[in-house]
Structure 1
């Protein structure tokens, strides 16, 4: 397991941290999906930058959560990864 995953598992045991994390879950999911896709294609941030015309610095900012990409930028990233962007709405689990 990666250092990040170990750390995440540890800090999410704190109820306050978990509440805040859950509020940001869509952003974290997007970031992780982008990182996973880039790695699965064996691309560095620089290589993805060259394919998309998005600066490596912006790709880094997106991946570390300090930049929120537009839908247009997400489409460019998906294209550069040789993938299709798919967004969906899913029902929240019902609270007891």
Structure 2
């Protein structure tokens, strides 16, 4: 049986797919950071919604990638989890 990593490695041989994959990485990093921060505190979306005043449905949309958050919204989420928001620019890796 082929694992996901095997499948991904095979698919990443396609240069067009690699470009698309890399293009969505920043959005995926934001989604992953939100979910990881929330789950590391054992918070449900509903609990985070109550802490932040952000509708639970909107938190769900952020986490499934159907809504892009503003910096202010990210700050509210961080505050609701007792965290601070850090955004950074990093050099691209040379191929």
> TM-score scaled by structure 1?
0.85
Task: Say if 1:31 and 1:63, in contact at 8 Å, map to a contact too.
Answer: yes
| Distance (Å, rounded) in 2 between the aligned partners of 1:42 and 1:69 | 22
Which one of the candidate residues 10, 13, 21 is aligned to 2:10? 13
Structure 1 stretches of 5 or more lacking a match?
A: 1-5
| Distance (Å, rounded) in 1 between the aligned partners of 2:33 and 2:78 | 11
For the pair 1:35 / 2:45, whether they are aligned, the reply is no
> TM-score scaled by structure 2?
0.85
Q: Which structure has the bigger radius of gyration?
A: 2
CA RMSD of aligned residues (A): 1.5
| Distance (Å, rounded) in 2 between the aligned partners of 1:45 and 1:18 | 32
Structure 2 stretches of 5 or more lacking a match?
A: none
| Distance (Å, rounded) in 2 between the aligned partners of 1:12 and 1:20 | 15
